[in-house]
Structure 1
Amino acid sequence: MSDYTVGIVGTGPHPDESDHDGYSMGYRHARSYRTVGGCRVDACTDVVSEHAKAFGDEFDLDGCVFTDLEEMLDTAEPDIVSICTPPSTHADLVETCARHDGVRAVHCEKPMATTFGESRRLVEVCDDADVQLTINLQNRCSDAAAEVKTVIEDGTIGDLERIEIGRQDLLQTGLHHIDLANYVMGDEPVEWILGQIDYPEEHVWYTDMAAEVQSLGMWEYESGVYALCSTGNGMDAVGSRTNRFVGTEGEIEFQLFDRYRIRTTKSGEWETVDVGGDHAQDEAIAVVVDALETDGDPIVSGERALGGTEIVFGVWESARRRSRVSLPLEIDDNPLEAMIEAGELPSA
């Protein structure tokens, strides 16, 4: 295997100093790269010099610590760049990396961006530059997710009829579960989406990314399988952090861990299945490196991530139009943010 060098963009504060684990994803990425043969973390950059220095000390980067991305790219010349900054910065950072001669792969944190147009842009600029783009929707890389997919394909719960999803919100937390639904469906196209949202008070991630307080979304896959997603105050209708796959002869519940539970019409009782396996984050980084080595099609590709992203923006667009929307989605903006700015979402 080739020896790939890695640069981390957006270290964030040390996890011990952070009040939100998502602000320190650079540490997670770096630790996962260390578990994969054939690559090493060589450099980092963060606009906060103290954060970059602490990261450099943690991972023994021997002075390859920067506060400017282009300086890091020119000096360290990494083969792979992991982007772990807030989503509003992703489009410009991905493009800067993709346009640099030395970069061969970009692995970007989710969500892809804060607008659908910029989310598409990530894929387009990397395609144009012939750079591998992957998005850190790591849970589809887990052994448990793979087994759930296989069990469903084997017909253990009969014909799959419906997928149910419950999570805190759509774009930040729910995207993992929507992506898992797409993974189980073989990233099958979605025909239409119908959605409604509630935004009675300010609700933001990363200081600048709005999220609905509650939503209810429904969509239909090309094969006729339906999906229902309930977030916020309604997530317990499905179960917090849950993907439920309902078939004609049983159902499966999966909550992003190394186990799932299954109940068939034959048994009538829930059975918990422990799968084990490596941590999903480690598995995702292994997929990134292996795909680069083999020129393969990574299961966390930007194109696949765009499918789940389109569903999120589709729910918001349906709420904006007050009608069902057909895909592909032909918008560039963020419907939720547009409605907030226009005062179209009444307060409670």
Structure 2
Amino acid sequence: MPQYSVAIIGTGKAHRSDGATGYGTAHWHAQGYLATPGCTLVACADIVPENARAFAEMYNIPRVYVDYREMLSKEQPDIVSVCTWPQLHARMVVDCAKAGAKAVHCEKPMAPTFGEARLMKDTCEKTGTQLTFNHQRRFEERFIFARDMIKEGAVGQLRRLEGSWGNMLDVGTHWIDLLNFYNDDTPADWVIGQVYRAGDQKAFGVDVESQALCYFHYANDVYGLLLMGQGHSIGAEHRILGSEGVIEVDWPRVRIRTKGDASWQVFDKGATEGSVTRGIQDIVSSLSSGKESALSARKAFAATEVIFATYESSRRRGRVELPLTIDDNPLHSMIANSQIG
């Protein structure tokens, strides 16, 4: 069995601990590596030394750094998890790839701009670094169950995928990734959308919208629809419409109704624990086998493209054909130019 040294950038504080500003995702990553044979945590880095020391003590990590670049240079880790806020992802992922890391597993969303997302993907392709993003919901039971029902033809030919939740950038990246997951990661080829912003909404320090509407088309003639933000509910997390029926995913259940059914068939699929660990086990397996990870940069980039194409559609006031060629964040441009709140 291959042996891999692992380092973590951005330990932060544990979720809901005093002074915590995030979800403590580095802790989930550490627990994932500890549960994965062949992985050894060798170092961690955080700009707040006491956070890094507490994290290292909790997970028996032998060395602690304040400067992640020093850690990369001295430790030469095989795998690096980047658990910082999205504004720092691009520079850190690129530094890891150039330092010789075999794999980088980064938190989502990819980045605040589309150009940064593309830079990470392109750099890692050039250096031969396996780049993945923590869209761990692909490993949650209810979403796998729904995907399997689609594959088994339970609702006939797939027609449309719908979802609703919070903002596009942070939580929308999960939902678009899952709609892609249901549709066998078929690429989208156009997007039309609109966004509205009132107030100072942010996700991990990045400006986001208050409401968004996103309608898009896949190359296999399936449609996607997202209603995000205030007043977003469609009555479920996801709705999957086929030629012969409907599937609704709404934690903790999945329900299905097909032509001729008098009522819904309901399945309890509430378990969500361990999805980050299963994701990490997948990326380590992919690194060993050379097969594409379920959490690959290619798949994350596809979801990210729909997000930024939605913003670009709002800026252009028209449909956006893919692939998307912009580098900026159109929402931020509209905010700066007082075109949106």
TM-score (norm 1): 0.93
Which residue of structure 1 aligns with residue 102 of structure 2?
104
Q: Provide the secondary structure at the position in 1 that maps to 2:278.
A: helix
Which residue of structure 1 aligns with residue 211 of structure 2?
214
Q: CA contact under 8 A between 1:252 and 1:260: conserved in structure 2? A: yes
Partner deviation per Cα, 1:43-66 (whole Å, 9 max, x = no partner): 10011111111101111113x011
Q: 1:229 aligns with which of 226, 245, 267?
A: 226
Which residue of structure 2 aligns with residue 341 of structure 1?
336
Partner deviation per Cα, 1:219-264 (whole Å, 9 max, x = no partner): 011111111100111311x146x1111112211122466x522222
Which residue of structure 2 aligns with residue 163 of structure 1?
161
Q: Provide the secondary structure at the position in 2 that maps to 1:283.
A: helix
Q: 1:300 aligns with which of 276, 284, 295?
A: 295
Q: State the AA in 2 paired with 1:319.
A: S
Pairwise mapping of residues 73-152 of structure 1 onto structure 2 (< 5 A)? 73-101=72-100, 103-152=101-150
Pairwise mapping of residues 1-348 of structure 1 onto structure 2 (< 5 A)? 1-17=1-17, 22-62=22-62, 64-101=63-100, 103-207=101-205, 209-236=206-233, 238-239=234-235, 242-255=237-250, 259-275=253-269, 279-345=274-340, 347=341
Q: CA contact under 8 A between 1:14 and 1:51: conserved in structure 2? A: no
Cα 1:33/1:266, change in 2 over 3 Å: farther
Q: State the AA in 2 paired with 1:292.
A: L
Q: State the AA in 2 paired with 1:12.
A: G
Report how far residue 23 of structure 1 moved.
4.1
Cα 1:218/1:317, change in 2 over 3 Å: same
> 15-24 or 286-295, which moves further after superposition?
15-24
Cα 1:340/1:312, change in 2 over 3 Å: same
TM-score (norm 2): 0.95
Distance 1:339 1:19 in 2: 33
Q: State the AA in 2 paired with 1:217.
A: C
What percentage of residue pairs aligned between the two structures are identical?
Answer: 38
Q: CA contact under 8 A between 2:116 and 2:327: conserved in structure 1? A: yes
Q: CA contact under 8 A between 2:12 and 2:20: conserved in structure 1? A: no
Q: CA contact under 8 A between 2:16 and 2:23: conserved in structure 1? A: no
Cα 1:106/1:164, change in 2 over 3 Å: same
Q: CA contact under 8 A between 2:13 and 2:19: conserved in structure 1? A: no
Structure 1 runs of 4+ aligned residues shifted over 4 Å read 18-21, 275-278
Report how far residue 265 of structure 1 moved.
2.1
**What stretches of structure 2 of length at least 5 have no aligned partner?**
none
Q: CA contact under 8 A between 1:80 and 1:104: conserved in structure 2? A: yes
Cα 1:268/1:20, change in 2 over 3 Å: farther
Distance 1:233 1:8 in 2: 35
| Number of equivalences | 340
Report how far residue 277 of structure 1 moved.
8.3
RMSD: 1.7
Partner deviation per Cα, 1:110-145 (whole Å, 9 max, x = no partner): 011100011011111101110100010011133433
Q: CA contact under 8 A between 1:7 and 1:41: conserved in structure 2? A: yes
Cα 1:286/1:18, change in 2 over 3 Å: farther
Distance 1:287 1:297 in 2: 9
Distance 1:152 1:284 in 2: 22
Distance 2:23 2:185 in 1: 29
Report how far residue 12 of structure 1 moved.
0.8
